[in-house]
Amino acid sequence: MSKTFSIIKPDATKRNITGSINKLIEDAGLRIVAQKRIKMSKDLAENFYGVHKEKPFFNDLVDYMTSEPVVVQVLECENAVQVYRKVMGATDPKNADKGTIRKEYALNIQENSVHGSDSEDNAKIEIDFFFKDNEIVG
């Protein structure tokens, strides 16, 4: 079993589709072993997305991620990182496969409904960023 980290983003919490997204996650065999709704501060969003600091979309991304609450999650299954990336679909919903979260629900490349870790190493870092061990119940 392995874990990945997920964020249900502001465009999705705002439209009340957290449950619809969780259904796609669970239907894919991923177990939601931790979940909480939070409002990201500017500091937290800037830290979390630190690798994108030099990108032209960085300021917009931080404004967007702090605009509404998000739901942060830990997901578990075999090969959780890869399984969740497949369920999410491509970053830009225009390129996402049918049936993926982003194809079904994302609005555009920024308001793309979900975030998922891109590697096992980053999953560990991102999970530690938001959750304590005793908050994760498998």
- The residues annotated as belonging to the active site are 115
- Cβ nearer to ligand CMP, comparing 65 with 77: 65
Size of interface with ligand CMP, in residues (CB under 6 A): 8
- Cβ nearer to ligand CMP, comparing 1 with 55: 55
* CA separation for the pair 1, 93 (Å, rounded): 29
Task: Kindly state whether residue 57 participates in binding ligand CMP, applying the rule CB under 6 A.
Answer: yes
Which among 108, 114, 116, 103 is positioned nearest to 10, based on CA atoms?
114
* CA separation for the pair 8, 31 (Å, rounded): 15
Looking at beta carbons, which residue is closest to ligand CMP? 115
CB of 22 to ligand CMP, least distance (A): 18
Task: Kindly state whether residue 115 participates in binding ligand CMP, applying the rule CB under 6 A.
Answer: yes
Which among 61, 81, 58, 69 is positioned nearest to 127, based on CA atoms?
81
- Cβ nearer to ligand CMP, comparing 1 with 47: 47
Q: Which residues of 44-75 are buried (b: 16+ CB within 10 A; e: fewer)?
A: bbbebbeeeeeeeebeebbebbbbebbbbbbb
Q: Of 82-111, which residues contact ligand CMP (CB under 6 A)?
A: 91, 109-110
Residues in contact with ligand CMP by the rule CB under 6 A = 52, 57, 61, 91, 109-110, 112, 115
